[in-house]
Structures are given as C-alpha cells and as structure tokens.
Amino acid sequence: MEIRKVGVLGCGLMGSGIAQVCATAGLDVMVREVTEELCARGFAGIDKSLAKFAEKGTITSEQQREIRGRLRGTTNLEDLADCDLIIEAIIENLETKRETYKELDARCKPETIFASNTSSLSITEMLTATSPDRQKRFIGLHFFNPVPLMKLVEVVRTILTDESVYEQAVEFGRQLGKVPVRADDRSGFIVNRLLVPYLLDAIRALEEGVGSIVDIDNAMKLGCGYPMGPLTLLDFVGLDTTYYIAEIMFTEFRERRFAPPPLLKRMVSAGLYGRKSGRGFYDYSDAKNPTPMNL
C-alpha cells in the first residue's frame, strides 16, 4: 500500500511540525484536534513556519501555497478513516492514547498503519487496545523538536510488527527527508536511553557542587563540542517533560541512572519548567540574555 494521505492526531508543537513535513513531502494531511481553537492555533504555527522558510528562500511562495493547500484540520475522528497512515502526537498519557487508538481502530480501513510519536511510553501497551490485525500494523515514529528542522526520526518496532510494515515506515521517514534509525520498543528507544542519564547526571553534578550552572554548561559545550550545555538543554526540553520521561524509564529499568534527582523533583514541584515557564536553571526574563538561577 502506498502512503498518500496521512492523519495526524494533535496539532501542538510536535503534531503541527509532523503535519508540516508530511505536506512538504507532497502528502495530503488531515490534522485532528479536540477543539477548533487548538486546531487554529496549531495551523497558525504552521503558517508562521512556512512563511519563515519562504523568507529564507528555502521554499518558493508557490510551494508555500501548495504545502498549505495539502493541510486540512478537523475535530472529528471520522475524517481520518481513509488515511493510509495515522501519526499520534497527543498528550503523553497511556490511557488517553489507548482510548484514542481503540476508537480509530473501529473507524479506519484495515490497511491503515498506526504510529505513535511518543518518546518514552511503550508502543506495545498502546497497540493492545486495537484488533490483532491492526497490532501487526502498529509502530513508533519518534520525531524531534523542531520537526521541520531536525533530521532524525526513530522508527520503533514491536515484537508484533509486520516486517513489511516496518520497512515501509523506514522508507516513509526517508520520504520526509529524515534520517530514520531503527529501534526496538524499549523505554527511551535510542536517543532518550542515552540522553536522559546524561542530563540527570548534570543535575546531580550541580547538586553535589561539582560546578556551577554556567560552568557545567560551558564545560560540555567547549570540552565536548555540544551545541548547548546539559542544563540549557534541560530548560529547552522542559524539566517537567524530562522528569516524566525519567520516571517512566526508571519504572521499567530500575537503574539509578534513570532516577530523577531530588533537585529536579523540587524544581518541577515549584513550577520551574524551563523556557516554557520563564524559569528553570536559567531565568528568561530577558530572553536574549538568560541568567543562571540561584538554586
């Protein structure tokens, strides 16, 4: 089956980005949100992103219009019934995802492939909400933020995934202009399996007085060539998001390296989520010149 029409569940930061790259690749895209307001907000973000690409000359004004013309929004799950592939990018709540997949399973054609953009939850636990035939056509497609710019996509296989479906998903990643990497359905996949312990160790180093916020960041930028330090990256990703992912990974592996440090828990409890809340390891009152917090 050729993938011509893609459904995207969720029009937030990740969903809108996924929708944009699919439409840019020449595919018809139907984006579903729970309210028209959220849908409109997501499409406004897509319009802004496409305008920036046009201004930079990455795409022409004509291409901008063509891409936008391939995107449609809805609040009705029924409108995704004829999609060849559905990519879910909704709230990271397993039961919410399972209920959504159960509803979609009853509506979509048998050939439709289901995919989740989750970064940490079990794909296998999601697919059990669908019929046995659908379970063979269920994968993970983990994109990275910002989706239109980041070249990587993790293509995740479960123990039930049909081999031909999996290979088609890998090829789909290439079709979008991404570099697909193959991963098995284990919490964190490849990137978070390696990244999360590194970030958590940076927090532990700060807790233990190994270095200051600025010194830890500069050490990893200048000593290892990273584009940003680990504490700056934590603010970018979101401390609440990192805490949630770490909890899931610690529950699965029961290894200390995945356990959220006490400082991270206290910061999340205090609402210090990073850039999204204006404060994290840095204070972003002056967005161009963030200053380290006194933690």
| Cα–Cα distance, 50 to 225 (Å, whole number) | 31
Give the count of beta carbons closer than 10 Å to the beta carbon of residue 44: 12
DSSP secondary structure string for all residues of 224-271: H--SS-HHHHHHHH-HHHHHHHHHHHHHHH--GGGSPPHHHHHHHHTT
Q: Tell me which of 16, 119, 122, 187 is the catalytic residue.
A: 119
Residues counted in the chain: 295
Closest CA to 137 of 119, 155, 110, 117: 110
Q: Tell me which of 16, 116, 117, 154 is the catalytic residue.
A: 154
Q: Tell me which of 116, 117, 122, 192 is the catalytic residue.
A: 192
Q: Is 192 a catalytic residue?
A: yes
71-74 and 85-88: which strand pairing?
unpaired
Compute the half-sphere exposure of residue 2: CA atoms within 13 Å on the CB side of its CA.
4
Q: Tell me which of 33, 120, 142, 187 is the catalytic residue.
A: 142
Write down the residue that tokens 């994968």 correspond to: 139
| Cα–Cα distance, 73 to 175 (Å, whole number) | 22
Q: Compute the C-alpha angle 151/156/157, nearest 5°.
A: 150
Write down the residue that tokens 């969720």 correspond to: 10
Q: Is 119 a catalytic residue?
A: yes
Q: What type of residue sits at position 106?
A: A
Write down the residue that tokens 């123990």 correspond to: 159
Q: Which residues of 257-294 are buried (b: 16+ CB within 10 A; e: fewer)?
A: ebbbbeebeebbeeebbbbbbebbbbebeeeeebeeee
* Positions marked active-site: 119, 142, 154, 192
